[in-house]
Structure 1
Amino acid sequence: MSDHRLRLNLRSVLALLMMGILLMTTAFLFFMIFNYKLDAIQTQRILESPFLMLALFVTILIIYFMAIILLVTKYIFNPISQMKKAAEHIRSGNLNYPIEYKGANEIGEFCQEFDKMRVRLKDTILEQHEIEKRRKRLIASITHDLRTPLTSIQGYVEAIQDGIVKDQTTFDQYIETILTKTNQLNHLIDDLSVYTKQELGEFTLNLERINSGVLLNAYFNHKFMEFKYSPLNLVLNKPFISTFILVDPYRFNQILDNIIGNATKYAKSKIEIWTKVVDYHLQIQIKDDGDGIPQDVLDHIFDPFFMVNKVKDQKEKGGSGLGLAIVKQLTEGHSGKIEVTSEEGKGTCFTIDIPLDR
């Protein structure tokens, strides 16, 4: 026995039912007319006949039900048909098929919610694709950035093991280079750890109520010593604002490290630091006198892996393109914000904005 059976939708069933009633009523009317030999002149007899009155009533009832079917088709079956087509498109992977029905009734509201679900599903899939792309870029970028210093370290270690280094001065230079490359690796690994934990929502901050003046003086006094033998001049506009902020000291220093490190790569002669309070927010401004950032890419510098000139920056400046993305995430984790202004040929200024803990 075949499993294929005739399947009728609800609209077809109702249409067949009404056609059957209409045919039965028509047959009943013909039966009454021929049985009683009625003609148009016998109006009185028609009005007095209970069978013909019943037939007239049934005819009116059929017309009424047909009007109901038309309304049901317009306001129920058509929207359901649109949703069925939309569901089929969604099942096939096409999330761009909209539901056009916008009726101001329960079915219309249901269609609108169904369409919102479609849009949300589409956005979710696009977000997943973007996350997957970023994950692949992360793996490719980190693999490249880890391989470079590791290859360099391996080369210097093999040179020392092979006895190529004969004098103490060259040996010290090799050891210093190895230490520099090791520090670079540690920095890359720390950036990767912070970024991935924040992406997974597993990153936490150990917030403390700290005097901003004490925190900034401790950080920049140490940083000033690092710049002592640098060709760049670190200009500290003291005294720093002394007020209370709620921060994670280690991560706040990491914010400053990443911005100062970025400024060091591009500054020509100096990096300047200012502090001020605006609307109960502490603002720390870090400005370099480098070439500046083109205006058409300024809005993207906090994007993960973004570099103004990727090939040149990776080769000459180092880094993975995660530094400023981490700065943005960490600053927002402190309920603050990071802003940047830049003018080509005159330098770039980053402003860290942290609310005061009053």
Structure 2
Amino acid sequence: MKIRDLPIRKRLLLSNFIMIFIPVMFLLTLSIAIFLSLQFGNINRASIISFIWPESGSTLSIQFELSRLRVRADQYAGSLNRLKQSSNHLEEQGLKVAIYQGDMLLYHTRSSDADAVMERAYQERPSENAAISWSDTGLVFHYLSDKTNVRFAVVGDVPIRHSDEFFNLESKDVLKIAFYAVFLIALLLTVFIGLYLSRWLAIQIIRPLENLRNIADDISQGNLDHPVVAGNYDEIGDTCRAFEKMRLQLKAAEETRNKYDHNRKELIAGISHDLSTPLTKIEGYTCGLIDGIANTPEKRKHYLQMILDTSKNMGRLVQTLFLFSKLDLGQIPFHWETVDICTYLDDYISEQDEHFRGCGMILSFQRDTSRAMVSIDRTQFQRVVENIIANSIKYKKEVYGHLQIHVQRVEDKRIRLIFMDDGPGVRTEELSQIFESFYRTDKARTDVAKGSGLGLAVVNQIVREMKGRIWAERTIPHGLTICIDLPEVKGAQHEKSVDY
């Protein structure tokens, strides 16, 4: 998981931890390095003491090394390294050292006589195992270890302190400056890390929030074309994805609303046009009767018959429009039944064959499966079949048209119904439009009696309520094919009718 995908709470805790951890580790590492160098390095601790407390002169450092030399003499086990180390530190202060074990010389300062050093050390209080004389003229010290039989002497013209000595505090100032420098480096490191983490958090948190605020302003002003990019998988990323989902839903709702507004305007225009034409006819025939143009009984009967036929067409148009509106609003109750669509269509065609032959349409039925169970409303599905057949009758080319109905089982557990006629068909670019309300291939819409343009729109609404899908294709060599896919009901014999 990337750091930017961590929850914001964890990232804030991590940044605060880093801001404290790195300076602390810097100081801890520096302290450990100094400690290890003092512990394991061959460093003159007396020089360090003199460096830290220069006002004490060399007194404190010499006392420190004399004490350490005594301890190492008591711990002597055959190795001279530690004794030589302390001796070297004393020699750096101007002293001379001689070390014996019994009568065997172990170490002495170069350019000095070991016996002379021992003799000078034992001139005062020779009977004592440890004695020191340190005055303004010099230092004399000797020691005999009861544990290891190691004896050593330290002499030198090193005064304990000069009364007129001026103490140089430069070394202590250097130490203070070094301490201030380390403190300043740690402070600058903390500030730098804090600024870097603040900038990093600004990039990771503040900038996405600013972008989200700008997008929210765009959405509030109706601009839904700006996508919300979510690069992280933290709380802000989840919020951005939620905003993007909201934006897409609002955009889809806006497109649907615009489509509904467009359909409503087309519906009003279609109703106005399709009602104005028959009304004009009725008005014309009525004026002909009033003005005496129909001056014979035959003409008057013809005029009255035309008024009656036109009124009936208007009534059918209003009923179809009312049905379409109720379907669009979901106010038509559906009574669902699980039926065998093959048996249903076979019985329907057998019963209505003579009627449709009288209308000039010859029906035929084929099926690729013996049984196909679907859930339909019998009344509404009959309206689907009748509207499709009526559409083929209206646009047939010959005295008798042919409509072939085919049932087949397709993949995804669906049953496909195919209605294929041999009429003139429609152009390819119009195939997706014939299911729209008031759409007719007759752009002039002069013959209202041939249809309102709502028949296939009603079919589309009913099929959608049945959880199906409908589309149109061209029949080869000519004609129109309407395909309907309905979900197949597996293992059901009969279901109780319920209201949708």
Instruction: Report 1:34-53 matches (<5 A).
Output: 42-47=173-178
Of the three residues 176, 191, 202, the one matched with 1:62 is: 191
Contact 2:422 2:475 survives alignment (8 Å): no
Structure 2 counterpart of 1:91, one-letter code: S
- In structure 1, distance between residues paired with 2:299 and 2:171: 126
Q: Does 1:348 align with 2:477?
A: no
Structure 2 counterpart of 1:272, one-letter code: H
User: More deviation in 331-340 or 139-148?
Assistant: 331-340
- In structure 2, distance between residues paired with 1:178 and 1:208: 42
Aligned to 1:85: 214
Aligned to 1:301: 434
Q: How far did 1:338 drift?
A: 3.0
Contact 2:339 2:374 survives alignment (8 Å): yes
Q: How far did 1:336 drift?
A: 3.5
Aligned to 2:377: 248
Structure 2 counterpart of 1:324, one-letter code: L
- In structure 1, distance between residues paired with 2:422 and 2:170: 107
Contact 2:403 2:421 survives alignment (8 Å): no
Contact 1:294 1:343 survives alignment (8 Å): no
Q: Does 1:291 align with 2:424?
A: yes
TM-score, normalised by the number of residues in structure 1:
0.73
Of the three residues 317, 320, 332, the one matched with 2:464 is: 332
Instruction: Report 1:264-279 matches (<5 A).
Output: 264-269=393-398, 270-279=400-409
Structure 2 counterpart of 1:143, one-letter code: S
Structure 1 counterpart of 2:462, one-letter code: L
- The alignment's C-alpha RMSD in Å is 3.6
- In structure 2, distance between residues paired with 1:104 and 1:245: 45
Q: Does 1:319 align with 2:451?
A: yes
Structure 1 residues 45 and 111, CA gap change in structure 2 (3 angstroms)? same
The answer for unaligned runs of 5 or more in structure 1 is: 1-37
Structure 1 residues 41 and 120, CA gap change in structure 2 (3 angstroms)? farther
Structure 1 residues 40 and 277, CA gap change in structure 2 (3 angstroms)? farther
Aligned to 2:201: 72
Structure 1 residues 105 and 352, CA gap change in structure 2 (3 angstroms)? closer
User: More deviation in 235-244 or 136-145?
Assistant: 235-244
Q: Does 1:135 align with 2:264?
A: yes
The number of equivalent residue pairs is 314
Contact 2:366 2:406 survives alignment (8 Å): no
The structure number with the bigger radius of gyration is 2
Q: How far did 1:260 drift?
A: 2.0
| Structure having the larger proportion of residues in helix | 1
Counterpart secondary structure, 2:269: helix
Instruction: Report 1:91-110 matches (<5 A).
Output: 91-100=220-229, 102-110=231-239
Structure 1 residues 56 and 111, CA gap change in structure 2 (3 angstroms)? same
Q: Percent identical across equivalent pairs?
A: 26
Counterpart secondary structure, 1:310: coil
Structure 1 residues 159 and 321, CA gap change in structure 2 (3 angstroms)? same
Counterpart secondary structure, 2:199: helix
TM-score, normalised by the number of residues in structure 2:
0.54
Aligned to 2:166: none
Q: How far did 1:307 drift?
A: 3.2
Counterpart secondary structure, 1:237: strand
Of the three residues 390, 394, 399, the one matched with 1:261 is: 390
Contact 2:230 2:237 survives alignment (8 Å): yes
The answer for unaligned runs of 5 or more in structure 2 is: 1-168, 494-500
Q: Does 1:176 align with 2:305?
A: yes
Q: How far did 1:72 drift?
A: 1.3
Q: How far did 1:69 drift?
A: 0.8
